[in-house]
Structure 1
Amino acid sequence: MTLRFAAVPALLPALLLAALPAAAHIHASPAQAGAGQTVEIALEVGHGCSGAATTALRVALPEGLSNILIAPRVGWQVETLEEGRVTEIRWSGGPLPDGTKQKFAFVATLQGAGEAQGTGGGDLVLPVVQVCGDTVVRWIDGPDSDHPAPRLRIAPGS
């Protein structure tokens, strides 16, 4: 019986390390907003790429977002790509050292964006590309993957 309990503390560090990748993803906040609302959406970056500092961040903006305003970041340049609307925001500069958290934010009006993307779940998916010098990490996959895209739940408007 004592051996079983002794094994639990020995396994605890491994269990904690296994949970770290889930906490290392780029997250969007708020987690939920209502269709028709104007909200500040913040993308929180909490690490670099395999130890390297983040030097650029790009986010693709799906249809259904309008009135885009970008919050400035000291030490970072920002540019947008437009095709009749803002389709991508690009921050570059920094750098943001590995292990340092920083939020990259913009304001947008949500025009029922989850449905416009055809996600069926009311999720606004924000594909992000993180650049760390020569290394690129694409946060563009589904929620259960190793590199999930940040998501914002869109609740029906009032």
Structure 2
Amino acid sequence: MNSYLLSAGAFFVLGTSAAFSHVTLETQEAAIGSTYKAVLRVPHGCEGKATTAVRVQIPEGVISVKPMPKPGWTLQVKKGRYEKSYQLHGQAVTSGAKQIDWSGGSLPDEFYDEFVFRGTLAADLPAGQTLYFPVVQECEGAAERWIEIPAAGQDEDALEYPAPGLKLAPKQ
């Protein structure tokens, strides 16, 4: 039994270290209709090189997005039209942030940092499903593309470069 526990423990440690080797969201579940603070965790650079840019695509249904500036980084928000109109505080919202880019900084490979934004999860998003936030991490002469979204029935752990995911909980 002890060897079984050691094997299970080794699997858990290896599994969690693999899970923390890519860009993830700090909070991976939130209720539809709520304001969500997204904290993208960047645990390392690309092949030992410093991270110089982080770009995140905002999925449909995440509206009224506002990024947090980072000292030493240039912040750019690319806006566009939503696929449909959403209601927010009794007003129709038809466009907003589609991508957030932090660039021009330098995050050495041996350090960790977080990139933050907030937005509202539309009330008509489907509870129980997962929204994905594809991220491109640029480094000095290299890039990591955390953009893979699992197909229906596919295990997220099978992906080499998974996009950070947010499980949608029922409205509270």
TM-score exceeds 0.5: yes
Cα separation, 2, equivalents of 1:99 and 1:48: 8
**Consecutive unaligned residues in structure 1, runs of 5 or more:** none
1:49-96 deviations in Å (ceiling 9; x for gaps): 000000000000011011111111111111011112211000002100
Q: Which structure's residues are more often helix, by fraction? A: 1
Residue 88 of structure 2 aligns with which residue? none
Residue 89 of structure 2 aligns with which residue? none
**Consecutive unaligned residues in structure 2, runs of 5 or more:** 82-95, 151-155
Instruction: Tell me how large the CA RMSD over aligned residues is.
Output: 2.4
Cα separation, 1, equivalents of 2:31 and 2:48: 37
Tell me the number of residue pairs that the alignment of Structure 1 and Structure 2 aligns: 145
Q: CA deviation at 1:20?
A: 3.4
Q: CA deviation at 1:113?
A: 7.3
Letter of the 1:78 partner, please give it.
Answer: L
Q: What is the TM-score with the length of structure 2 in the denominator?
A: 0.75
Tell me, yes or no, if structure 1 residue 131 matches structure 2 residue 102: no
Q: 1:110 to 1:134 in 2, by over 3 A?
A: same
Cα separation, 1, equivalents of 2:44 and 2:29: 24
Residue 77 of structure 1 aligns with which residue? 74
Cα separation, 1, equivalents of 2:43 and 2:34: 27
Tell me, yes or no, if structure 1 residue 108 matches structure 2 residue 119: yes
Q: How does 1:45-56 map to 2 (within 5 A)?
A: 45-56=42-53
Residue 129 of structure 2 aligns with which residue? 122
Letter of the 2:144 partner, please give it.
Answer: V
Tell me, yes or no, if structure 1 residue 152 matches structure 2 residue 166: yes
Tell me, yes or no, if the aligned pair for 1:114 and 1:121 is still in contact at 8 Å. no
Identical-pair percentage: 37
Tell me, yes or no, if the aligned pair for 1:63 and 1:113 is still in contact at 8 Å. no
1:82-115 deviations in Å (ceiling 9; x for gaps): 1122110000021001031111000100014753
Residue in structure 1 matching 2:33, options 13, 33, 36: 36
Q: 1:109 to 1:102 in 2, by over 3 A?
A: same
